[in-house]
Chain A
């Protein structure tokens, strides 16, 4: 006769046992432990960098002190200045930047088309090509640097930025190809097909449709390649004398340099890395995610 309320299941007015909170407590403890472990690992990762920064910002007297205090009492830029003004450091810095940029350009110019081919075309020998690339990546750079040095010597190209660029490009190539392949795979073929239907030529399609979508990924690949080149030590060390890259310069001067030089050098090598990772953060996982 009167409107009824929506009927939920007839809830028997049973008396239910009290809520068991023990699992909740267990869960909180577990989460606290996880937090703690994360902090420990983060400390392990960060502390050494903090320490070398402190070392590079201490005076030479403080560096000689023992036991060292955690924080330098005299902050100074002298050590760093000393390093930067040491022979060969600034030019080496310049060489590293140049090599890095050239490497990025060259490896993208050669590698990106290959990546595109891998992404878009299924062809015989595709697997063989991929295996070839992977194997080449596993080849020790050391095996090649020495003979390459000899080859470059004979060609008159020894001790040039070009020589190091070539080696770095070769090192970066497999990764560049595979990363660009996964970037292009992520651009749907339908978009390209639509562009073709609407009248674009192949190159126009690539330029207007594929490239803009691929740019973020390509940028990440570029940063990755730059970092690879920037950090590379052995090849650069073997292939250069007068036109060293920064790591090569520091390596060579290592044995004869005072502590302050080493620490300031270490910091100089570390700082760009921090910046690079900050930029690359978002792409790190997507780069590695599309691979095996």
Chain B
């Protein structure tokens, strides 16, 4: 069990013109479940591999449990890892796969047996111990990979998109199992994914990455409710956060964001934006359907009944906005709707950064 510290990590792949990771610094506490989230190419896997020792950084430092391991060979770092493809050895039985990390470290055979049995039970693999991986389903092989990783009781557990090769239903159930398992064991975990639902569900903290940098690192609620940039707002949540663009002016009621004929009040702290453009961020579920005369008018374009909610694509003063309505809400394309924005967030259009408002 250890903490992980990354300091100013820079890595450029040979032949690439941009950095894969651009001076990334991150602190992961002992026992914390840290999720690295981002689109492909953002550098999250590079970061994970740098911690594993499978890639060596050009600059910067990796420290695990107070020990510098920046250039140390992977096998000396006392880690375990679950790969996206599981990397379960096809020529070894399940029990030998799970026990691999113990065997190569010279653990005595009876202890291996005991520990393998324990890990297999945790992952419901006890009946499959003597099978070969070819005779297992994808989900079972996944569990073998996880069992192999936890049995070693390493300092840090690394996971590279372990659920992405599973079908949707399995992914859901395994996500819950994984969370329970890791919670029980209290392992320091670094988890890479591009799936924002996974990130929100599993992480103690989520580090959202883009173009080799960490744009925001906070607990799931914060990352969801207070996205630090428009990118984060757009990446988390399904549907993504709506961004309405307009100009700020002074009207009879104070500062207001003009959206065509309509307007939304702007907090007084943002007075420096008078006569400038400003972006309003509001989530689909935060746009409450209201009756006149409250709220803003929008026209329904698409009506999607999703079962647990209704997703409406609407046009508000020429900008497209998604609205999430309670299940059973009826509306047809062309209908007019009144929505009131709540939980609004304000963003600078040029820097795309969140503007802090009390």
Contact = CB atoms under 8 A, between A and B. Distances in A.
A3 B351 contact: yes
Listed residue (B73, B217, B357) with the most chain A CB atoms within 10 angstroms of its CB: B217
A16 B25 CA distance: 13
B136 to A, nearest CB: 24
Contacts of A24: 56, 71
Contacts of B217: 7-9
A108 B7 CA distance: 62
Contacts of A17: 63, 66-68
Interface in B7-53: 7, 24-28
Q: Which of A2, A3, A17 has the most CB of B within 10 A?
A: A3
Nearest to A8: B214
Interface string B152-186: 00000000000000000000000000000000000
Contacts of A3: 348, 351, 353, 355
Contacts of A7: 216-218, 228
A16 B356 contact: no
Nearest to B8: A11
Contacts of A4: 228, 353-356
B328 to A, nearest CB: 40
Q: Which 7 A-B pairs have the closest CB atoms?
A: A9-B217, A23-B71, A24-B71, A8-B214, A20-B68, A17-B68, A23-B72
Interface in B184-219: 205, 207, 213-218
A208 B66 CA distance: 66
Given A8-B217, A9-B27, A1 B269 contact: yes
A1 B69 CA distance: 41
Interface in B305-358: 348, 351, 353-357
Contacts of A27: 71, 73
Interface in A1-39: 1-12, 14, 16-21, 23-24, 26-27
Contacts of B61: 16, 19
A44 to B, nearest CB: 30
Contact size range, A: 20 to 34
Contacts of A10: 27
A9 B214 contact: yes
Interface of A is mostly: loop
B5 interface: yes
Given A1-B356, A11-B7, A16-B7, A6 B215 contact: yes
B249 interface: no
Contacts of B355: 2-4
A7 B26 CA distance: 11
12 contacts: A6-B229, A8-B26, A8-B214, A8-B217, A9-B26, A9-B205, A12-B27, A19-B68, A19-B71, A20-B68, A24-B56, A27-B73
B70 interface: yes
A173 B67 CA distance: 62
Contacts of B25: 8-9, 11
A8 to B, nearest CB: 5
B207 A9 contact: yes
In this complex, the member of B5, B229, B348 whose beta carbon has the largest number of chain A beta carbons within 10 angstroms is B5
Given A6-B229, A17-B68, A23 B353 contact: no
A292 B218 CA distance: 51
B353 A16 contact: no
A17 to B, nearest CB: 5
Contacts of B215: 6
Nearest to B354: A4
B209 to A, nearest CB: 10
Contacts of B207: 8-9
Contact of B216 (A6, A11, A12): A6
Contacts of B205: 9
Contacts of B353: 3-6
A286 to B, nearest CB: 24
Contacts of B348: 3
Nearest to A26: B73
Given A8-B217, A9-B214, A18 B68 contact: yes
Nearest to A9: B217
Nearest to B66: A17
Most buried by B among A4, A6, A7, A27: A6
Contacts of A5: 353
Nearest to A17: B68
B68 A16 contact: yes
A5 to B, nearest CB: 7
A10 B26 CA distance: 8
B8 to A, nearest CB: 9
A38 to B, nearest CB: 20
